[in-house]
Structure 1
Amino acid sequence: IVNTFGDSYLLFTDGSKLHEGTGAAFFDQQMGFAKQYKLPKEASIYTAESFALLEAIQYANTLNVSKVVITSDSLSVLESLSHSSIRCNMPQIIMRIKEALETSNKMVELAWIKSHCGITGNETADNLAKCASTNGEETLIKIPTSDLLIIAKEKMKNNWQEQYSSNQKGLFYKSLNPRVGKISWFKSSEAHRKHIRQISRLRANHAICPAYLYKIRQIYNDTCNICNETEDMKHVIMTCEKYATDRDILFKEITGLMPIQL
C-alpha cells in the first residue's frame, strides 16, 4: 500500500452496522490516533461509511502535511462521490463530503481498499468501527430518508412473514415456500404467460385434478380409481399408474435442464 500511494499521508476509515447499533471510525496509523462515533441505530452502513469519510477529511485539515489519501472499503459511497454533478436525490452527507473536499486546505484523495485483505490500518479501522457501534462517541446526525425507508420495508416484511406463517390457509404452498419473497418467481423468466399460470396453479395446489375438484365441490370423489389413493397433483405426476407413459416422457424431457426454483 505504501508503494501505491507513495509519500501521501494515509488515513483509514470504516463503518459498521451490527444488531447492537451503528458505528463509524477513522484511524491515523502514523500518529496512532483514532476517533470512534456511535451513530443512531437507524443509520445504514452506507451512512456510517460516509460519516467516517467526512470526519476523516475534517481531521486531515488539521495535519501538517500537503497530501492525504483517505481509504474506504465502501465502493458504493465512493461511486456516489465520483458523480461530478449534484443531483436532487443525492444523500445530504454525500453533498457534505463533496463540499469538504472542495474546501479542504489539503490535497485529499479518496481511495478504495478491499476489506479484510490483511492491511493493518484497514483491519484496525474495521475493529474500531465495530466497537464504536456500542462504545463510540455518541453522535446525533440527520438520518437520510433512504435509511428510514429500509427500516420501514424491513418491518413491513417481518409483519407480512408473521401473518403468512400463522395463517392456516395455503399450507401446501407454505410447505414449498416457507419465507415470503421479495420478487415474483417468474420476474426474470421468459416463459409464456400460459405456462406461468400453470406453474402458479401447481405451486398453490390449485391445479385441475380430482382432489382439487372435490375440494371445490365439483365432483363427489377424489380417489384414484386405479391406485385407490387421493388423486392430487403429486399423485398424478409422481406415482399414478395411469400416467406412467406420460411420466417417462416428462422426465426424459426435463433431464439435463438447469434446476430452477419454482
Structure 2
Amino acid sequence: MPVPGLGGREVEQRAKFAVQPHPAETIAVQFQCLESRADVDANSSWEVCVYTDGSKIEDKVGAALSIWVGGVEAKTKKLSLPSYSTVYQAELYALCEAARFAHNSSRSTFGVFSDSRSALETVADSGSAHPLALETRSHIKNSRNQGKIINLYWVKAHAGLQGNERADQLAREAALHSKRKPDYDLCPVSFVKRQIRDQSLREWNGRYVNGEAAATTKVFLPDAIAAYKIVKDLGPKAVLTQVLTGHGGFSEYLYRYKCKGSPSCICDSTTEETLLHVILSCPVYEKNRFDLEQQLGCKLAKESIKEIMADLEKRNGANLLRRVEPREYKRTETEI
C-alpha cells in the first residue's frame, strides 16, 4: 500500500486474515537455544547447516546465508535491503531465505542457526502475522510435507562459532558493497512513524521560530527540534517550567495579571523584575551570577544562555535553572 510522503514505498503490514493459514493447518515451529560450543557441536549432525545473519552498518542493511555441508562451506548467499530497513527485518528475511533454500533443496535434513532470538521467536509464534514469519512457516510446512526435517537454533553472536562468524561477515559485505536492487524492500512501520514524527517536528519548529509568542523561552531554546531533546532529558518540573517561560513569581508577570501592585524589582523601583533581569543584571544576585560565570568559564549573557542549554555538560554542571527560583507570593487585601 503506497504511503503519501514516503516516495511510493510500500509499508510492511500484518498479513490479512484471508491469506493467513486456517488454525487447523497451523504448524508448530520451535527453536532450541544453544548456549555453549558443545551444544552447537551436538546439534550440527545435519546434512546441511545454514547460518543466517543480518547487519546494519553505516546506515546500510544486508543479510546473508552461509551454507555448510560436511563441515565445509558449500555455498553463500548475500541479500540486499534498503537503508530504511531494520536489523530485525534483515534477520527475519535471512531466516525466510534459509527456509526457502531448504524447501527447494534435494537434501533431507537441515539445521538453521541464527543469533537473533527476536526473529526466531517471531517465526515460532503461530499468532504472529508478520509477512516474513508467515512465509517462513509456509516454507517449513511445505518442507515437512516433502518429508524433510528443519530444526531452528539460536546461537550466541560473536562467540567464535565459525559458521555464525562467516554469516556475520557476509551480511556486513552485503550491507556495505551490494549495488543491486533490494531483495526485500517493504518499509517498516518504525520508519513510517519516524518520518511522521520528523515532519511534525519540522512543522512545529517553523511555527515556533517564526511566531511572536514565547519570547522568553526562545532565549533558552531557540530551536524547537533541539528543545525537544533537551526538555525530554531535563524532565518536566514546576520551577523549571516557570523559569523557561518566565511565567512564575516575577513581579512583571504577577503585575500583568493583577496579582501584584507593581512590576518593579526590589533592586530598583524603576526596573521591571523579569526573569532575564534576575538572571543577567539584578545586583541582588550578583554573587550567584559571578560564581556561575566562574564555573562555566564564560560571561553570562542573553546570547550565551542558549549555548549553555545546548551543552549537556554545562547544562548539568551549571544547574542554571535551579539557581533562579520564582519567589512564592501571596496577594494582600490591598493588592486585590
* TM tier relative to shorter chain: 0.5 to 0.7
Equivalent of 1:221 in 264, 272, 289:
264
Counterpart of 2:94?
A: 52
Whole-Å Cα distance in 1 between the matches of residues 193 and 55 of structure 2? Answer: 16
Amino acid at match of 2:199: M
Residue in 1 aligned with 2:38? 3
State the aligned residue count: 231
Q: Distance in 1 between matches of 2:204 and 2:62?
A: 29
Inter-CA distance 122–211: structure 2 relative to 1 (3 Å threshold): farther
Pairing of 1:104-123 with structure 2 (within 5 A): 104-105=143-144, 106-123=148-165
The structural deviation recorded for 1:50 is 0.9
Q: Tell me if 1:71 matches 2:122.
A: no
Provide the secondary structure at the position in 1 that maps to 2:159.
coil
User: Contact 1:43/1:147 (CA < 8 Å) preserved in 2?
Assistant: no
Please identify the structure whose Cα radius of gyration is greater: 2
**Which residue matches 2:221?**
174
Aligned pair partner of 2:167 in 116, 125, 128: 125
Task: Sort the Cα spacing of 1:122 and 1:213 in 2 relative to 1 into closer, same or farther, 3 A.
Answer: farther
Alignment correspondent of 1:251: none
Partner of 1:27: 66
Contact 2:85 2:188 in 1 (8 A): no
Task: Write out per-residue CA displacement over residues 183-231 of structure 1, whole angstroms, 9 at most, x where no aligned residue.
Answer: 96799x9xxxxxx5454333434322236558999844346359x9966
Which among 204, 222, 247 is matched to residue 206 of structure 1? 247
Q: 2:195 aligns with which of 127, 130, 152?
A: 152
Could you say what secondary structure the match of 2:158 adopts?
A: coil
Percent identity (aligned): 21
Structure 1 residues 224 and 128: alpha-carbon distance in aligned structure 2, compared to 1, 3 A threshold: farther
Match of 2:184 in 1: 141
Deviations 1:49-107 (A, max 9, x none): 111111112223426352x3322232322222232335xxx221111112122222432
Structure 1 counterpart SS, 2:184 = coil
Provide, for residues 96-145 of structure 1, a one-character-per-residue CA deviation record: whole Å limited to 9, x for no partner: 11212222243222222333333332232222212212416533435155
User: Can you give the 5+ residue segments of structure 1 that lack an aligned partner in the other structure?
Assistant: 190-195, 245-258
| Alignment counterpart, residue 232 of structure 1, candidates 240, 257, 275 | 275
Asked whether the 8 Å contact 1:172–1:204 carries over to 2, the reply is no
Structure 2 contact 113–155 (Cα < 8 Å) conserved = yes
Secondary structure, in 3 states, of the residue corresponding to 1:104?
helix
Residues 184 and 119 from structure 1, CA distance in 2 versus in 1: closer, same or farther, beyond 3 angstroms? same
Q: Output the aligned Cα RMSD.
A: 4.4
Kindly provide the amino acid, as one letter, of the partner of residue 249 in structure 2.
I
Whole-Å separation in 1 of the counterparts to 2:126 and 2:192: 26
Match of 2:133 among 94, 110, 114: 94
Distance 1:55 1:174 in 2: 49
**TM-score, length-scaled by structure 2:** 0.53
Cα contact 1:22–1:48 (8 A) shared by 2: yes
Q: 1:223·1:231 contact (CA, 8 Å) conserved in 2?
A: no
